[in-house]
Amino acid sequence: MDNILIIGAGAAGSVVAKKCAMNRDVFKKIHLASRTLSKCEQVQKECKSDITVSQVDADETAQVVKLIEAQKPDLVINMALPYQDLTIMDACLAVGAHYLDTANYEPKDEAKFSYKWQWPYHDRFREKGLMAVLGCGFDPGVSNIYCAYAQNNLFDEIHTIDIVDCNDGSHGKAFATNFNPEINIREVTQRGRYWKAGQWIEIDPLSIACMIDYPQVGPRKSYLIYHEEEESLVKNIRGLKQIRFWMTFSDNYIKHLDVLQNVGMTRIDPVMFNGVEIIPLQFLKALLPEPSSLAANYTGKTSIGCILRGVKNGKPAAHIIYNVCDHAECSRELNAQAVSYTTGVPAVTGAMMILKGLWSGKGVFNVEQLPPEPFLDEVARQGLPWHVEALAEGAQKELATV
């Protein structure tokens, strides 16, 4: 297997295409398609080796089916919006292609993402002899794989997981989002949620915060939000008693978000304006900078990882597994900022695992169900080295006591 189709040419999709074009020993044929052909053509110009491009509306299963029939890929890498996961999965089933994405399905009319729409595809993919890999970005994705590695190598039982995500970078804009603004704002403004003692607990958006000490960055205020990898890790990590997800937001980001919410610009229901029905958040997206445009002036780093506590050989154990990624280095390599780089490189690595046969199976899988070691070896070679450190007693004290 060596033929791939990439759907989506946004900030992360462009990283996938460019990285695949740098690994022609694995990816012999690369085709990039998107709703906006001009975006594909720009990425095509920036690739280190030749790729082909075309236009497709991924909301239309029939169009995706036609594209897959024409390109005959072994694997479809879905870098489009989460709204389009199901149409692309349906097309893969119709034609017969393996599937990989970086974010789970989300309906347009409700700010709620869940695997409940994609997990039921398991039997259909299994019956067709196909593999679908869900959530192979960084978080979800690498964060899940860190947990799987820890379960295999560092713990007998993992009791608590805190996934911690810090973007300590500056893009010089008054307000911008590091990935699709519509998806980003929907994610942040929905109610928070975490899992403890066998049940999900909901909280008001951004109502719980604490200081977390991020590797190579230092202490930063972090907010508890809900993130999709929690849903699958609860099922796949043995002995788990609690899982939470934390993300940093600058005071400036929070200030702008508060104002936008207060004036109704984050609404996802339609409103009438001059006789035309519009969705305020989609209009706001059109006004904000394209995430791919942020790379040139971005400084600082991302620091993302998992803080895990449990037992090993009958004794308490605690570790942090993490990656630090520099915005300026990503810009020099791929004309990308670190948030899109850390999403795109894991998708490329997951595709390598499938094409090389290092990840195999029939049905639908979350990445922590697949062998973590070969993935982690390769993702480090592709530009995202990972580190494991034992936590001293009393480390991350504020986080542990929240």
Shared-domain flag, residues 108 and 233: no
- Please give the Cα distance from 190 to 194 (Å, whole number): 13
In degrees, to the nearest 5, what angle opens at C-alpha 111 toward C-alphas 105 and 116? 35
- Cα–Cα distances in Å, from 242 out to 163, 198, 234, 348, 395? 11, 8, 9, 31, 18
- 147 and 98 within one domain: no
At 185-209, the pLDDT tens digits run 888 888 999 999 999 999 999 999 9
Q: Are residues 125 and 188 in the same domain?
A: no
Within 10 A of 247 (CB to CB), how many other CB atoms are there?
21
Are 90 and 66 contained in the same domain? yes
pLDDT value at position 384? 98
The tally of domains found in the chain comes to: 2
Residue tagged 């044929």 (tokens):
29
β-strand partners of 164: 246, 305
Residue range(s) defining the domain that contains residue 160: 142-336+386-401
pTM, 2 dp: 0.94
Q: Are both 85 and 234 inside the same structural domain?
A: no
Say yes or no: 31 and 158 in one domain: no
Residue 120 has a pLDDT of 98
Report strand pairing: 363-366 vs 157-170: unpaired
Q: How many CB atoms lie within 10 A of CB 363?
A: 18
179 lies in some domain = yes
- For residue 16, the domain's CATH number is 3.40.50.720
**156 and 77 co-located in one domain:** no
Domain boundary among 134, 169, 186: 134
Q: Is residue 7 part of a domain?
A: yes
* 239 contacts 157 by C-beta, under 8 angstroms: yes
pLDDT tens, residue order, the chain (402 aa): 899 999 999 999 999 999 999 999 999 999 999 999 999 999 999 999 999 999 999 999 999 999 999 999 999 999 999 999 999 999 999 999 999 999 999 887 776 778 999 999 999 999 999 999 999 999 999 999 999 999 999 999 999 999 999 999 888 777 877 767 787 888 888 899 999 999 999 999 999 999 999 999 999 999 999 999 999 999 999 999 999 999 998 888 888 888 888 889 888 889 998 898 999 888 988 888 887 787 778 899 999 999 999 999 999 999 999 999 999 999 999 999 999 999 999 999 999 999 999 999 999 999 999 999 999 999 999 999 999 999 998 899 889 888
CATH number at residue 181: 3.30.360.10
Residue 352 maps to a domain: no
Same domain, 191 and 164: yes
Structural domain contains residue 367? no
pLDDT of residue 179: 67
Query: Up-side HSE of residue 305: CA atoms within 13 Å toward CB?
Result: 23
Query: Quick one: 130 and 16 in the same domain?
Result: yes
Residue 355 lies in a domain: no
**Is residue 82 included in any domain, yes or no?**
yes
Same domain membership, residue 276 and residue 231: yes
pLDDT given at position 110: 73
Last residue of a domain, one of 109, 134, 159: 134
CB 351 within 8 A of CB 20: yes
Q: Is the residue at 29 inside a domain?
A: yes
Are 85 and 107 in contact, with CB atoms under 8 Å apart? no
Residue 353 lies inside a defined structural domain of this protein: no
The pLDDT value given to residue 160: 97
Last residue of a domain, one of 134, 152, 180: 134
Same domain, 392 and 288: yes
Hey, which bits of 102-241 come out as E strands? Answer: 131-134, 157-170, 192-196, 199-203, 209-214, 218-225
Same domain, 203 and 70: no
